[in-house]
Amino acid sequence: MNPPLKIAVAGLGTVGAGLVKLLASQAALLEARCGRRLVITAVSARDRHKKRDVDLSGFAWYDDPVEMAKSADAEAIVELIGGANGPAKALTEAAFVKGRHVVTANKAMLAHHGATLAAAAEGAGVTLGYEAAVAGGIPIVKALREGLAGNKIERVYGILNGTCNYILTVMRESGKSFEDVLADAQKKGYAEADPSLDVDGVDAAHKLAVLTSLAFGTAMDFEAVSVAGIRNVSPMDLEYAGELGFRIKLLAIGRRTPRGIEQRVHPCMIPAGIPLARVDGVFNAVMVDGDFAGNTVYVGRGAGQFPTASAVASDLVDLARGVRSPVFGVPAGKLAKLVVSPMAEHRGRYYIRLMVRDQPGVIADVSAALRDERVSLESMLQRGRSKTKAVPVVLTTHETVEAAMLRALDRIGRLEAVLEPPCMIRIEEL
């Protein structure tokens, strides 16, 4: 029998506790699959005396995770603290210096420092596993890095934030406002007390930066991700989307274009009939377009204690079995500089909702602004009539360039009869 793989776990929140449970309950199975045992030897968390539903008595305790990464009796350090910098990054770097592998669920750290950390791991002859950082229980990192390794990837996209997807799903089903549904999601534990990382699209953007690096062999460039969240999506937009044959989803999209790599996270109108439109609630879905495999789709739970623990475990199994691939698919030194395809040059169709004073001439003014930017209208809907209140006008355009669209919207937003900033949602052809 081979010696066990000794593991030290930093961070005992939801996922950390889930991992402790998984390694206990699957011990025999994992031993059969790896030819050796997977054994936690040490743990570290902020509060030693916090009540937890897992038994930590068999593990060495460290108050300082960085110290644990340096000196625990462990080959692999699992980082579940989170945050782009701070102790998470410090312990990861310390582990590499000591020649220890790191497995992490930390997309923020990877989005900001992924290429540097991969280089450090490589230099130390160890590896950095991060299956848990993207799309929870879905083994999408492995699919991209190994399963689709024969493909040039053209596009990787999907629903990467379960909180947003849950909120949009409930908003659509209930007609309630973003604020009401968010408050409810917070009560149920589906949204954080501070929801901004999720609802502003930042979490999805972190994950996208990781996926694009992996898919395109480019060094991650988080600043280059164009990000918009779901705060401005109104029940009205969800209703109009339905009427126009669309669903609204927060998508993260990484794509090769002739100009470079496009990375964007924003609400999208997508055809209601396609499978992605039916991925609802807390589920995640990732679609990959490869030049040989074609389009493949991966769906599952994007977060939660057990799915995320499952992903961490898969990285530990790889370590135990001696399975090693380059962290982001190619050696860190060969990650190309990401050439950014500017959003201003993005081409697509647009959904626009205006709240206007119901008076003659408004549509003429709006149409003129679009015409002057050569934005061609596809449809226009003006349903309500009111002498006193703002009424919605909904437009969809034919394909146009983003910069032109934004110039037109700027002018439209300054029209005297347009009473709120225009709401713009990109229509995505998938």
User: Residues touching a second copy: how many (CB under 8 A)?
Assistant: 61
Does 16 bind a second copy (CB under 8 A)? Our answer is: no
User: Binding a second copy by CB under 8 A: which of 151, 257, 367, 382?
Assistant: 151
Closest approach of a second copy to the CB of residue 156, in Å: 14
Helix (H, G, I), strand (E, B) or coil at 321: helix
How many Å is the Cα radius of gyration of the chain? 24
At 55, phi and psi to the nearest 5?
-90, 120
Given candidates 300, 423, 424, 426, which one binds a second copy under the rule CB under 8 A? Answer: 300
Annotated catalytic residue 207: yes
Q: Which stretch binds a second copy (CB under 8 A): 163-171, 241-249, 254-262, 295-303?
A: 295-303
Does position 103 interact with a second copy (CB under 8 A)? The reply is no
Q: Rule CB under 8 A: is residue 33 a binding residue for a second copy?
A: yes
**Taking CA 261 as the corner, what is the angle to CA 277 and CA 168, rounded to the nearest 5 degrees?**
25
Pick 177 or 296: Cβ nearer a second copy? 296
State the minimum distance, in angstroms, from the CB of residue 81 to a second copy: 21
Residue from 295, 381, 416, 420 that binds a second copy (CB under 8 A)?
295
Q: How far is the CB of 191 from a second copy (least distance, A)?
A: 20
Six-digit token string for 289: 């377009």
CA-CA distance, 168 to 176, in Å (whole number)? 10
Rounded to the nearest whole angstrom, what is the least distance from the CB of residue 9 to a second copy in the complex? 14
Spatial separation of the C-alpha atoms in residues 378 and 368, rounded to whole Å? 15
Please report which helix (H) or strand (E) contains residue 62, including its range.
Answer: strand 60-62
146 binds a second copy (CB under 8 A): yes
89 neighbors 116 (Cβ within 8 angstroms): no
Q: Among 1, 3, 29, 51, which residue interacts with a second copy (rule: CB under 8 A)? A: 29
Q: Which of 42, 76, 143, 233 binds a second copy (CB under 8 A)?
A: 143
CA 312 vs CA 20, 291, 342, 348, 411: distances in Å:
11, 29, 35, 38, 50
Nearer to a second copy, 259 or 278 (CB): 278
Identity of the residue, 326 or 348, whose beta carbon is nearer to a second copy in the bound complex: 326
* Degrees, nearest 5: CA angle 74-77-80: 145
CB 51: neighbour CB atoms within 10 A?
A: 5
The contact mask relative to a second copy for 179-218 (x = CB under 8 A, - = no) is --------------------------------------x-
Q: Which is nearer to a second copy, 339 or 404 (CB)?
A: 339
The CA distance from 327 to 332, in Å, is 7
Quote the CA–CA distance of 81 and 93 in Å, as a whole number.
14
Does residue 20 touch a second copy according to CB under 8 A?
no
Q: Which long-range contacts (CB under 8 A, 24 or more apart) does 19-26 make?
A: 19/78, 19/80, 19/309, 19/312, 19/313, 20/54, 20/56, 21/54, 21/306, 21/309, 22/306, 22/309, 22/310, 22/312, 22/313, 23/313, 23/316, 26/313
Which one of 60-68, 104-112, 114-122, 291-299 is the stretch in contact with a second copy (CB under 8 A)? 291-299
C-alpha closest to that of 261 among 207, 210, 223, 225? 225
What is the closest distance, in whole angstroms, from the C-beta atom of residue 213 to a second copy in the complex? 13
Least Å distance, CB 179 to a second copy, is: 30
> Nearest approach, Cβ of 64 to a second copy (angstroms)?
28
Pick between residue 16 and residue 290 the one whose CB is nearest to a second copy.
290
Angle between helices 27-34 and 14-25 (to 10 degrees): 70
Shortest distance (Å) from residue 13 CB to a second copy: 17
Query: Burial letters for 370-387: b for 16+ Cβ neighbours within 10 Å, e otherwise?
Result: beebebeeeeeeeeeeee
Site string for a second copy, 313-352 (x = CB under 8 A): xx-xxx--xxxxxx--xxx--x------------------
CA–CA separation, 130 and 308 (whole Å): 10
Residue of 207, 249, 337, 387 marked catalytic: 207
Element spanning 381, H or E: strand 377-382
Of the candidate residues 299, 338, 356, 412, the single one contacting a second copy (CB under 8 A): 299
Q: Nearest-CA neighbor of 211 among 154, 144, 161, 311?
A: 144
- Residues involved in catalysis: 207
Residues that bind a second copy (CB under 8 A): 18, 22, 26, 29-30, 32-35, 131, 136-139, 142-143, 146-152, 217, 275, 278-279, 290-301, 304, 306-307, 309-314, 316-318, 321-326, 329-331, 334
